[in-house]
Homo-oligomer: A and B are copies of this chain.
Amino acid sequence: MRTIKDPKEMQAYSLKMKGQGKTIGFVPTMGYLHEGHLSLVAAAKTKADIVVVSIFVNPTQFGPEEDFRSYPRDLKHDKKLLNDFAVDILFFPSAARMYPKGSQSFVDPGGLAEKMCGLSRPNHFRGVDTIVSKLFNIVQPNLAFFGEKDYQQQLIIRKMAEELNFPTKVISLPTIREFDGLAMSSRNKYLLPEQRKQAAILYQVLRLAKKEIKGGEKNSRRLLSRLRRLMASAPSLKLDYLVIVDPETLEETKTIKGKTLIALAAYIGKTRLIDNLVVETK
């Protein structure tokens, strides 16, 4: 595996490969890789000639009070994992190279960024769309892979790529979970043992939602109050949001039918975790 740090060198490499008719599969990450990331890498390996993984903890998607500085990093371990998957290129740029002094252009997702996570993280998705646009222009991927754990993120990126006509297909893949259902996340590392135990309730809430909907529940309000009651059984969890929405528009659903997204975010101590499930009914 070759590591490239310079965006211009990365772009030149990709343009050269595409000029030779090669396809590029891309997995953008913030590093501290887990099985969720690796499932994306594995998919990229099967679908593209060349696989590029980026590791970049993107400052513009963190709020001033958030965990940019403390976000877990372990480049050595990440490199080992990516090497084992025979990834072709690790793109590992510095923040100074990605955002030269005076940079002021950004990509704004519009209304989808004002719901769910956007409410407690006001400029988060603007930072996401900006860095992903930059990375798409640098890496020139035919295919880019994202995890469904970050449901709103992959939706916003998919729409952005379509609306701005990027020649990149955005592919989303299922959330990978721990033994007890907790969605894999680099931030799980922050959890103390007792917090980690209680974090499992998040997936139980989603499973209950699925069971109730499959069992015929159509009333969002009634279902939400039942889910909140279960949530309350884990006293160290503070709910940020719990919503039942349309998976394409993120508009709240009153009467559940067709494809429905159940999504939530909660704080455990200072750690903010998110999870979601798409449920389909007739």
Contacts and interface: CB of A to CB of B under 8 A. Distances in A.
Interface of A: 7, 11, 15, 18-19, 21, 100, 103-112, 129-130, 133-134, 137-138, 140, 159-160, 163-167
Contacts of A167: 11, 15, 137, 140
Nearest to A163: B105
A250 to B, nearest CB: 12
A164 B105 contact: yes
How many copies of the chain does the oligomer comprise? 2
21 contacts: A19-B19, A19-B21, A104-B110, A104-B111, A104-B159, A104-B163, A105-B110, A105-B129, A105-B159, A105-B163, A105-B164, A106-B107, A107-B107, A107-B164, A108-B108, A130-B164, A134-B164, A134-B165, A137-B165, A137-B166, A138-B165
A123 B165 CA distance: 21
- Going nearest first, the 10 A-B pairs with the smallest beta carbon separation are A104-B110, A137-B165, A105-B163, A105-B160, A103-B163, A134-B165, A138-B165, A137-B166, A108-B108, A19-B21
Among A19, A108, A109, A164, the most chain B Cβ lie within 10 Å of the Cβ of A164
A129 B111 CA distance: 19
B164 A137 contact: yes
Contact of A107 (B18, B103, B105): B105
